[in-house]
Amino acid sequence: MFTHKIDEDLALKLIELRDAESVFELTNNSRDYLREWLPWLDITTKLEDTKGFINICLKGYFENKSMNTVILFKGEIVGIAGFNEINWSNKTAYIGYWLGEEFQGNGIMTKVASTLTDYAFNELNLNKVEIRVAEENEKSRVIPERLSFVKEGSIRQAEWLYDHYVNHIVYGMLVEEWNGKNE
């Protein structure tokens, strides 16, 4: 199974069914906070819902179509991050992420997104990484901006969020840009 140590306190580990209780508890503890920007909170109301999500993640991983990990901070699951989709024909990975409310503001997600981007380019040999973020989600937008992703444009009414549509900003990073800035 995939495990990647980022630093002394931070690691990514492929999500597994045995993580279901911790992930569901983290979801519950941050439910109101996460609901502002994530559309799946109302359909994740019991442990079985989280197990279903994990099974979908594992199927995607074994079919080589996605890779979702738990974020471990000091050994505790604090969020989810990974490639929601890997498009092999276009050599593009799409990063998605969320972090429990109490773990915000520690630089965790910037390190995680950087690690995933580096992995996409230098281990999976992809050409592009995209991060799509709700236009008004400032906390999430700062992640690709800190990592020098290029703001490529916006998609109007890209996502239905409970009772309204939200626009998405598309950020992209190409392998030559990433490896050029990290040399």
CA distance 68 to 14: 6
Residue 28, pLDDT score: 94
Residue 1, pLDDT score: 63
- CA distances to 8, 84, 91, 174 from 130, rounded to whole Å, are 27, 10, 11, 9
Q: Judge whether residue 27 has pLDDT over 70.
A: yes
Token pair in block for residue 48: 């079985």
Q: Which domains does the chain have, with CATH numbers?
A: 3-181 (3.40.630.30)
Q: Tell me the pLDDT band of 182, cut-offs 50, 70 and 90.
A: low
- Alpha-carbon torsion angle 19, 66, 127, 151, nearest 10: -70
Q: Judge whether residue 31 has pLDDT over 60.
A: yes
Q: Tell me the pLDDT band of 83, cut-offs 50, 70 and 90.
A: very high
Q: What is the mean predicted confidence (pLDDT) over 121-144? A: 96
Angle at 130 between CA 129 and CA 136, to 5 degrees: 150
Residue 2, pLDDT score: 73
CA distance 179 to 13: 24
Q: What is the mean predicted confidence (pLDDT) over 54-70? A: 97
Q: Judge whether residue 183 has pLDDT over 70.
A: no
pTM of the entire structure?
A: 0.94
- CA distances to 31, 34, 85, 112, 120 from 24, rounded to whole Å, are 10, 13, 22, 21, 27
Q: Tell me the pLDDT band of 181, cut-offs 50, 70 and 90.
A: confident
Average pLDDT of the chain to the nearest whole number: 95
Edge to edge, what strands does the sheet with 128-134 contain?
3-5, 10-14, 67-73, 76-87, 92-99, 128-134, 164-174, 150-161
- C-alpha of 144 from chain center: 12
Residue 121, pLDDT score: 97
